[in-house]
Amino acid sequence: MKAVTWHGKRDVRVDTVPDPKIEDPTDAIVRITTTGICGSDLHLYEVLGPFLSEGDILGHEPMGIVEEVGPGVTEIHPGQRVVIPFNVSCGTCFMCAQGLQSQCETTQVRDHGMGAALFGYTKLYGQVPGGQAEYLRVPFGNTLPIVVPEGLPDERFVYLSDVLPTAWQAVEYAGIPKDGSVVVLGLGPIGDMSARIARHRGVQRVIGVDLVPERLARARLHGIDVLDLREHQDDLGEVIRGMTGGRGPDAVIDAVGMEAHGSPSAKIAQQMAGLLPDAVAAPLMQQAGVDRLNALYLAIDIVRRGGTISVIGVYGGMTDPLPMLTIFDKQIQLRVGQANVRRWVPDILPLLTDGDPLGVEGFATHTLPLDQAPQAYEIFQKKQDGAIKILLQP
């Protein structure tokens, strides 16, 4: 089959690789019809190379048609339409039972001290072959796939794999009061969708911040007040306090993560780590503080005293410097982590079949054949050609 594979920094290719096979009785094989490229894939493309091997199959936002199931699978059957969550989670352990699928005890990557395995995401997360491919092996066939209805296009449902539950969790963890306010830092797919969900759930004041004109324009179209970071390099906190009763918003969602614009020294550290051999760079990146923390610092400054910061952007450094005095003194509540995809599906699914209040149809700016993955990664990373969200179709 054809699959998108990692070959080095900014080097992904479409290779021919062996088809996946049923390995365990509860496995399913899914023929992928649509599969997204995530902002998290850009971290693989750019800075997380030391944790990948050449030929790793990328992708964790797939949906498709069940092609084959193992003898132990009773809950789905060939021909059914399914979306696959990015967490590889068993659905039955202590963690899964309480909706913490990102901490699944059956798939935790204990060798690296990490939580649940993920599709298509580095050795730290189990090096599981990903979903930017013609076929995907899906374990836990009875509990992991999300069966979705026929009759509506793939773009209605594909975001159940990641963008929608991730953004839903970002808003949920932000704990915004009904008549309250939230600032969303970053208006990529995750921040944009978080802002839409906050609006949909009745939050009065939603302010989005980014530095890419078309991302700002698109959020504005959805009723979000926007601020261009380029115009507020030094006074973003002041301006936002002015817009929120002088105190700052009740919550800030960090939908940027480790590659934030505006952290020059950490950018150099990331680039230097990229030049070292993997055996040296990997432990260095795990032990040192290599994240670009500009967005998190902004969040700490902006949020009101006693407010909540919901960090949904991905971070990875172990000794990142944080202003603990300010965090303590402002009594900031921090909620962080990988999305628990399956947990939020029952809340979201009705919004996809009954009208389209979140605007998932048309959310992708580009839908391209799988063969064009190298160009797709490039324009998404460089924010060229108006690329905000890209779907690939094998």
Q: Which residues bind Zn ion (CB under 5 A)?
A: 38, 40, 89-90, 93, 96, 104, 106, 162
| Angle, vertex CA 69, rays to CA 67 and CA 75, nearest 5 | 110
Stretch that binds ligand NAD, among 24-32, 151-159, 183-191, 351-359 (CB under 6 A): 183-191
- Using the rule CB under 6 A, is 44 a contact of ligand NAD? no
Smallest distance from ligand NAD to CB 243, Å? 16
Cα–Cα distance measured from residue 319 to residue 293, given in angstroms and rounded to the nearest whole number? 12
Nearest to 144 by CA among 80, 100, 97, 87: 87
Is 191 in contact with 208 (CB distance < 8 Å)? yes
The interface partner of residue 262, options being Zn ion, ligand NAD, none and the CB cut-off 5 to 8 Å by kind, is ligand NAD
The interface partner of residue 106, options being Zn ion, ligand NAD, none and the CB cut-off 5 to 8 Å by kind, is Zn ion
- β-sheet bridge partners, residue 374: none
Cα–Cα distance measured from residue 320 to residue 316, given in angstroms and rounded to the nearest whole number? 9
Tell me whether strands 81-83 and 205-210 are parallel, antiparallel or unpaired: unpaired
The interface partner of residue 93, options being ligand NAD, Zn ion, none and the CB cut-off 5 to 8 Å by kind, is Zn ion
- Taking CB under 6 A as the criterion, which residues in 196-255 touch ligand NAD? 209-212, 215, 229, 255
- Using the rule CB under 6 A, is 70 a contact of ligand NAD? no
Q: Which one-letter amino acid corresponds to residue 162?
A: D
Would you give the DSSP letter of residue 319? S
The residue within the footprint of ligand NAD, chosen from 144, 256, 285, 303 (CB under 6 A), is 256
Radius of gyration of the chain, Cα coordinates, nearest whole angstrom: 20
Task: Identify which of residues 95 and 206 has a Cβ nearer to Zn ion in the complex.
Answer: 95
The interface partner of residue 117, options being Zn ion, ligand NAD, none and the CB cut-off 5 to 8 Å by kind, is none
Cα–Cα distance measured from residue 325 to residue 393, given in angstroms and rounded to the nearest whole number? 49
Smallest distance from ligand NAD to CB 283, Å? 22
- Taking CB under 6 A as the criterion, which residues in 268-297 touch ligand NAD? 294-295
DSSP 29-64: EEEEEEEEE-HHHHHHHHT-GGG--TTPBP---EEE
Spell out the alpha helix ranges (H) of the chain: 39-46, 94-97, 154-157, 163-174, 189-200, 213-221, 236-243, 264-275, 278-287, 294-302, 324-329, 341-353, 373-382
- Using the rule CB under 6 A, is 43 a contact of ligand NAD? yes
Q: Which one-letter amino acid corresponds to residue 350?
A: P
Smallest distance from ligand NAD to CB 29, Å? 25
Would you give the DSSP letter of residue 139? S
Smallest distance from ligand NAD to CB 6, Å? 16
- Taking CB under 6 A as the criterion, which residues in 325-354 touch ligand NAD? 338-339
Is 374 in contact with 14 (CB distance < 8 Å)? yes
The interface partner of residue 90, options being Zn ion, ligand NAD, none and the CB cut-off 5 to 8 Å by kind, is Zn ion
Smallest distance from Zn ion to CB 100, Å? 8
Cα–Cα distance measured from residue 323 to residue 289, given in angstroms and rounded to the nearest whole number? 14
Task: Identify which of residues 292 and 330 has a Cβ nearer to ligand NAD in the complex.
Answer: 292
- Taking CB under 6 A as the criterion, which residues in 95-124 touch ligand NAD? none
- Using the rule CB under 6 A, is 52 a contact of ligand NAD? no
Helix (H, G, I), strand (E, B) or coil at 122: coil
The residue within the footprint of ligand NAD, chosen from 262, 289, 359, 386 (CB under 6 A), is 262
- Using the rule CB under 6 A, is 316 a contact of ligand NAD? no
Task: Identify which of residues 29 and 258 has a Cβ nearer to ligand NAD in the complex.
Answer: 258
Q: How many CB atoms are located within 10 Å of the residue 368 CB?
A: 16
Smallest distance from Zn ion to CB 160, Å? 12
What would the x/- binding string for ligand NAD be over residues 123 to 162, using CB under 6 A? ---------------------------------------x
Interface ranges with ligand NAD (CB under 6 A): 38-40, 42-43, 162, 166, 185-191, 209-212, 215, 229, 255-257, 260-262, 294-295, 312-314, 338-339
